[in-house]
Structure formats: C-alpha cells, structure tokens
C-alpha cells in the first residue's frame, strides 16, 4: 500500500518505518527542513534502539521517503496518518492545533478515496472534528479513522512490529477491511485486531495510559507509607505482584513517572472528565501522588544534609536524566524536577546519561556540568543520585566510586541496588 505519514517524531517515524519494513511504500512529511535532510541521510534525530538501521535499510530500498512537500507526500496515497504532537495546554487539555492543521493539509492535497488515520493521542471527539474539517474542504470521500498507538519509548520498534493488539476505530466496512489487511503481518502470532466505534478507540489509549500511570502512583504511595511504618516496599511489591490478579508490571517504586505520554495523557483525560461535569478523583490523585513522590525524593536529600541551607555548594552527581532507560527523551522527566530543586538550593550539579547528555546541555546550559563518563561525574561529590534505570548503572564499581567521592552517600531513585553491596555507603532507597 502507499502510505503518507504526517510528522516524524517518535510515533510517525517508528510507524512509517515499520510499515515500510513490511513491504509498503511510505512517505513521511514534516515541515522541519533540517530534520527531513537528516532523515534523508538515514540519521534519526532521537535515540530509539534499532530504528536507525531500519530507516537506512528501507530508505536504500526506496520504500521509505522523506519530504517537506505535501503534494509529493500525498501523491497516490491510499492511507494518510496524522502523527503530530498533542502537547498539554495551560489548562491540561490537549493542544490539537497541529492535528487540525494536518487534517486540512490532507484534505487539500490527498487523492480520492483516502483513509485518514489519527495516530496521535487525541481526546474523545477529535475524529468528529477532523471529519468536519475535511467535509468543509469538500472531501466527502475521506474516511476518518482512529488507530491509536501503544508504543513505549525504548522498545517502540518491537511494540510496533509485534503489538499486543491493534485498535481500529471505524464503522466503515471498507476501511476495516483495508486496515485489517495492512496490519495482518504484525499480528501473525494471533494477537487481536479490535474494531470499535471511533470514540471508543480514542478513549482506549487514554484509559490504558492513565491506568498504567495510576499503578505507578499507587506503588509509589505505598512506598511512602512503608517508609513511615517500617515495612519494606520491595517485599510488599513482590507479595502484591505475585497475585495473578495484579501482576508485576508497573509495580516498581521510583521517583515518579514522566515522559511525553503519561503526564500529558492523564491531564488530558482529567480535563475531559471535568469538561463533562465529572470530578475524576482517581486521575487527580494519580497526578498529585506523582508530584509528592518527586518531592519525597528531594526531601531525603535535604534531610541527609540537615536542611536546605546546607545544600548550597554541595557537589551532587546525577546518574540518569532521561525519563526512562533506552531513550534520550527528557520531556517531563522526574530527574528534571530533582535537578531543578537542587540547582535552586545552590547545589553544584554534575550529570551523566548514556543518551540524554545533548538534551541535558540544551536544557540547562551552564547550570549543570554534563559528563561523558559516569565515574567522572562522581569525583569529589558529596552525594550520588541514581535517577534512571540504565543497565550500566546496575553493577558499578562501588570501591572506585567510594574512593573518588568526598562523601559516600547514595540516593537510589530506582531501587537498583542491594544494601549489602554498599558497605561503607550511606544508602537511601525508595520505600
């Protein structure tokens, strides 16, 4: 099939590349000329394991193309996917200006009998508005479908090629048939293709992300209770997660959730509920608990130094700035909350991240000393904060760390270590 993809961020580039990998001809459209020039040279502007290899392979085979020209992107396209950002507005709602602009461009430039797919995470009813836009452009032949993505940064290629399920929101029989055929090669292991109303498909993505965020906030709140009463969250987590009604996934205590999806999507669903006259207590509590968890971690540092006034001038090393491992994405990373607080208190902050150093430098400039090596970041440090669960942080040389630090103090924000490993360290973990 011939497919046009609007937007070359995580969702657009991964989805377009995976469709090309399965034999389709894909053209990705973006207004950012520098990004398109990079992609034409098979250089991916962000870190995602395995993606750059697939981009290079499919570009060489001329199954994957990149352009800033709408006419070129939509020429002969049978399917067009909207994969643009939907950032949070000031009130928590999703900003849909890029989605609606993409819909207008598609309506103006696309050929006859097009299936227009919304991949971006959008509030319930967005498909109805897109349909109005394309009808206003005189396009009665365009079928608007919701087909939400369920990609995790760091494993997005795997998630796209081997999805747990494919959700298709449409009641148009031809669109159902076409998209079922498109996705057949992704679900050969028997995972389902679920067809439903468009509004249900839009809601499914928000429901999934909000529930996962809720689980994280719940286990983090449990960790704070454990700290107060003398229980161990590691033991409690295992006892909970081995119940097959609960499971272990997303029951890992940490400094909180972040990234480009969970915070934004929970806020958007909270706004949607309030906009419809409801008080979404669980969604509000999920967000509040997440903020408290980040503050709780900072409070451990403040407590260790016996007050905020004693942090000024202290050298604090940070391992991990990305919101999770296997990505360079620092958007709404809980690490930023910790670093911002430490900077505000006058700490001398030194950081290292295997992939997010460039983004850290762009975000902080001279406020943070960014290191190219995990061990150089801790030299002379008064404390080490481990904030992201990168594999290279799991078994460091603790003797080397202790010998170079000014004070052997470690704040483990991901519970990566066993206290028995840390003889001679003042060790703090979650829960």
Residue closest to 321 by CA, chosen among 288, 292, 363: 363
Residue closest to 383 by CA, chosen among 310, 324, 284: 310
How far apart, in whole angstroms, are the C-alpha atoms of residue 19 and residue 178? 14
Name the DSSP letter for residue 309.
G
Residue closest to 421 by CA, chosen among 410, 405, 407: 410
Count of residues in the chain: 431
Pairing of strands 315-319, 193-196: unpaired
> Where in the sequence numbering do the catalytic residues fall?
261
* CA-only gyration radius of the chain, Å: 23
How far apart, in whole angstroms, are the C-alpha atoms of residue 165 and residue 427? 42
Enumerate residues 6+ apart whose C-beta is below 8 A from 34: none
Residue closest to 260 by CA, chosen among 426, 109, 424, 46: 46
How far apart, in whole angstroms, are the C-alpha atoms of residue 75 and residue 71? 6
Could you give the C-alpha distances from 232 to 246, 337, 386, 401, in angstroms and in order?
19, 25, 19, 26
Residue 74 in contact with residue 111, Cβ under 8 Å?
yes
How far apart, in whole angstroms, are the C-alpha atoms of residue 365 and residue 372? 15
Helix (H/G/I), strand (E/B), else coil: 54: helix
**429 forms bridges with which residues in the sheet?**
412
How far apart, in whole angstroms, are the C-alpha atoms of residue 123 and residue 271? 10
Buried b (16+ CB within 10 A) or exposed e, 350-381: bbbbbbbbebbeebbeeebbbbeebeebbbeb
């Amino acid at each position: 099939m011939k497919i046009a993809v609007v937007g070359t961020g995580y969702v657009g580039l991964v989805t377009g590349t995976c469709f090309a990998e399965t034999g389709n001809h894909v053209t990705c459209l973006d207004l950012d000329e520098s990004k398109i020039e990079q992609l034409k040279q098979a250089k991916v502007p962000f870190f995602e394991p395995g993606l750059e290899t697939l981009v290079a392979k499919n570009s060489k085979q001329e199954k994957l193309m990149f352009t800033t020209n709408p006419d070129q992107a939509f020429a002969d396209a049978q399917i067009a996917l909207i994969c643009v950002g939907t950032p949070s507005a000031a009130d928590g709602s999703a900003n849909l200006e890029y989605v609606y602009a993409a819909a207008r461009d598609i309506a103006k430039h696309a050929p006859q009998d097009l299936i227009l797919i919304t991949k971006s995470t959008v509030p319930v009813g967005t498909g109805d508005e897109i349909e109005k836009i394309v009808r206003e452009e005189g396009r009665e032949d365009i079928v608007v479908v919701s087909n939400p993505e369920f990609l995790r940064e760091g494993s997005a290629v795997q998630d796209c090629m081997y999805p747990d399920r494919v959700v298709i929101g449409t009641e148009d029989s031809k669109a159902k048939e076409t998209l079922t055929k498109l996705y057949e090669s992704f679900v050969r292991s028997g995972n389902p293709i679920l067809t439903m109303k468009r509004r249900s498909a839009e809601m499914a993505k928000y429901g999934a992300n909000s529930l996962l965020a809720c689980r994280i906030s719940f286990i983090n709140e449990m960790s704070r209770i454990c700290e107060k009463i003398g229980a161990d969250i590691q033991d409690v987590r295992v006892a909970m997660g081995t119940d097959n009604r609960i499971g272990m996934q997303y029951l890992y205590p940490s400094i909180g959730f972040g990234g480009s999806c969970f915070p934004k999507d929970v806020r958007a669903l909270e706004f949607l509920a309030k906009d419809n006259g409801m008080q979404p207590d669980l969604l509000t509590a999920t967000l509040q608990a997440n903020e408290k968890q980040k503050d709780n971690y900072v409070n451990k540092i403040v407590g260790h130094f016996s007050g905020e006034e004693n942090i000024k001038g202290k050298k604090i090393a940070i391992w991990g700035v990305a919101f999770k491992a296997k990505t360079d994405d620092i958007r709404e990373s809980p690490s930023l909350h910790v670093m911002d607080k430490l900077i505000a208190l006058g700490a001398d902050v030194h950081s290292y991240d295997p992939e997010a150093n460039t983004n850290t430098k762009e975000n902080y400039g001279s406020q943070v000393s960014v290191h190219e090596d995990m061990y150089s970041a801790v030299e002379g440090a008064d404390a080490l904060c481990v904030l992201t669960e990168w594999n290279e942080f799991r078994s460091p040389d603790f003797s080397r760390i202790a010998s170079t630090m000014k004070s052997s103090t470690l704040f483990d924000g991901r519970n990566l270590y066993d206290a028995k490993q840390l003889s001679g360290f003042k060790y703090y973990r979650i829960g």
